[in-house]
A and B are shown apart, each in its own frame.
Chain A
């Protein structure tokens, strides 16, 4: 069955440190992959997405993610985090190429950035 795993429920880093949030997926075909962010008491917002081509995709606010097919991973990275990056981050995969109306979601990783 298709699934998305975010192995870290919570990550704590200091402001200015680099960040990696892990995401692994299980999918038999070529995946479409997404990262969304949820700030406190808000809905989710798209950070970035990958369809094909360059495996490193850039998103908003300095975030990027790298698709590594051999590892079935799509980890999110940021070179230097800010306290305002504290939020919950969700990885998701579209299970049906050509029909992305449904996404399979990971459980999310709560990021805490200490000032």
Chain B
């Protein structure tokens, strides 16, 4: 079996700071995703990538950049953290044959 690793587990930032979240998968999946999870708002897609060096905007891409330099890794950058922001960022990759998304445990962000 494979695994998705997200680093860091917890991220505390300052208002206006640029923050980078990293995701690694060893499933050898082509498609990877970044979601934001806020309490009461479910999952909102920020960016996804269907292959190395591909980027597709989701519904919540404003305020974020993403990078897929290798098939196994997908990074997300918060370009300017907002004061009192608190959310969980989930990374996922998709098994096309099983049509299943596999999720990492998340990065919990708090902006002071």
Which A positions have Cβ atoms within 8 angstroms of B? 9, 32, 36, 41-46, 49, 90, 94, 100-103, 105-108
Cα distance, A97 to B48, chains bound together (Å): 18
Total interface residues in chain B, CB < 8 Å: 22
Cα distance, A102 to B99, chains bound together (Å): 11
A43 near B4: Cβ-Cβ < 8 Å:
yes
Q: From DSSP, what is the main secondary structure of chain A's interface residues?
A: loop
A-B pairs, 3 with minimum CB distance: A43-B103, A107-B42, A44-B103
A-B contact count (CB 8 A): 46
Task: Determine the chain B residues whose CB is within 8 A of the CB of A108 once the complex forms.
Answer: 42
Whether A106 contacts B48 in the complex (CB less than 8 A), given A43-B4, A43-B105, comes out as no
B40 near A105: Cβ-Cβ < 8 Å:
no
B22 within 8 A of A: no
Contact of A45 among B31, B40, B48, B103 (CB under 8 A): B103
Contact of A43 among B40, B44, B48, B104 (CB under 8 A): B104
Task: Determine the chain B residues whose CB is within 8 A of the CB of A46 once the complex forms.
Answer: 100-101
A41 near B105: Cβ-Cβ < 8 Å:
yes
B101 near A32: Cβ-Cβ < 8 Å:
no
B100 near A101: Cβ-Cβ < 8 Å:
no
Whether A102 contacts B106 in the complex (CB less than 8 A), given A9-B40, A43-B4, comes out as no
Task: Determine the chain A residues whose CB is within 8 A of the CB of B4 once the complex forms.
Answer: 43
Contact of A101 among B41, B44, B48 (CB under 8 A): B48
Cα distance, A54 to B68, chains bound together (Å): 39
Task: Determine the chain A residues whose CB is within 8 A of the CB of B50 once the complex forms.
Answer: 101
Interface flags for B90-112 (1: CB within 8 Å of A; 0: not) read 10101000011111111000000
Task: Determine the chain B residues whose CB is within 8 A of the CB of A101 once the complex forms.
Answer: 31, 48, 50, 94
Task: Determine the chain A residues whose CB is within 8 A of the CB of B106 once the complex forms.
Answer: 41-43
**Min CB distance, B54 to chain A, in Å?**
11
